Amino acid sequence: MQDVQVVSASLLRGAHLDILQSVIPVFLVVAAGVVLRRFRFLDAGFIDAANSLVYYILLPALLFHEIGGTDFRQAFSGPLVVGGYAATLATFLLAFLASRALGLGPSETGAFVQGSFRANLAYVGLPIVFNAVGPTGLRKAGIFLGLIVPLLNGLSIVALMGPHGAGKGEGIATTASRIARQIVANPIILACFAGIAWSVLKLPLPGMIDRTFRMLTPATLPLSLLCLGGSFSFERARKGFAVAALAAFLKGVVLTGIGIALYRWMGLSGDDLRIGAIMLGCPTAVVTYVMAARLRGDTDLAATIVIVSTAASAVTITGWLFLLRFMGW
């Protein structure tokens, strides 16, 4: 009996360690990016160039190669996408109601609402999914990313422009048109859909091209995490820590909790449920600061939300994975 208890305790510790090893290294690399930028090993020029390399070349190459090389019918999960859409829309509405209750101004409302639902799926979600689930999970997460990003971009326009009221119809229409063009031309989305088409058509990838992808893509995830850490602007994060903490709570706890509840209701479990929890639990995307600057949002609050939610998500994502393991889901 004592031997059984010892073995059970050992297995439990191993399970806990497995979760920590999936999540914590990702945030340690982000922290390394912060430190390297702080001590000037990475400068603004390098961060900008590396971000462009990741965004336009490496990440699209990784997603195309992983999605295109799998069976789409096995990698696509309808409930995963539907649950993500529903949880995002529900949190979007809750955040608007919370902004009214807090009495936030139009610019603060836009930054707060956007920060409550827009996730850093590519730079944080994909590395954690890869660590936790492996290449199969990365393919499913890539398809999820490609299908949900248009919704996130559309809602961001509403969140940032809507609170400024009537009389801005032309501005909203012009901005919506510009963002729509950006969505259509987004290299990450294009790579996802190209990979889906390649997979559905069952096209072979020539051997030399496949080996080129295999040599190129391993640099993607660590470089993206270093860039994320190096992009943090603590100088701009000067206000609204309480409001930022509430946005981080909505993003990491409420949205993810709604999503997990919906996924369980739809019968998801195992790897698919973990992928959904990780992707929905990702911290607020750095691009929310850029969107806030372009669309009359509060940039200082947006920067604060990014930093607070990223720090908090190391705990919340780990917590959600522990909960799923504890519940046997």
Residue 280 resides in a domain: yes
Q: What is the pLDDT of residue 238?
A: 63
Domain annotation covers residue 21: no
Q: What is the pLDDT of residue 171?
A: 56
Cα–Cα distance measured from residue 142 to residue 317, given in angstroms and rounded to the nearest whole number: 18
Range of the domain at 139: 37-44+77-166+222-327
In-domain check, residue 212: no
Find the helix or strand (DSSP H, E) in which 285 lies.
none
Total domains in the fold of the chain: 1
Has residue 59 been placed in a domain?
no
Q: Tell me what pLDDT residue 92 has.
A: 96
pLDDT of residue 204: 87
Residue 197 lies in a domain: no
Q: What whole-number distance in Å separates Cα of residue 316 and Cα of residue 329?
A: 17
Query: Which residues on adjacent β-strands are paired with residue 284?
Result: 119
Q: What is the pTM of this model?
A: 0.84
Q: Is residue 114 part of a domain?
A: yes
pLDDT along the chain (329 residues), means of 10: 47 66 88 89 87 87 87 88 96 95 90 93 90 90 88 85 58 64 77 88 88 89 86 70 93 97 95 96 87 80 89 93 92
Q: What is the pLDDT of residue 81?
A: 94
- What CATH number should be reported for the domain holding residue 141? 1.20.1530.20
Say which residues have a Cβ less than 8 Å from residue 156's Cβ, sequence separation at least 6: 114, 118, 179, 288, 291, 295
106: which residues sit within 8 A by CB, 6+ positions away? Answer: 163, 164, 165, 296
In a domain, 134, yes or no: yes
CA 280, 284, 290, 295 dihedral sign is positive
Residue 191 lies in a domain: no
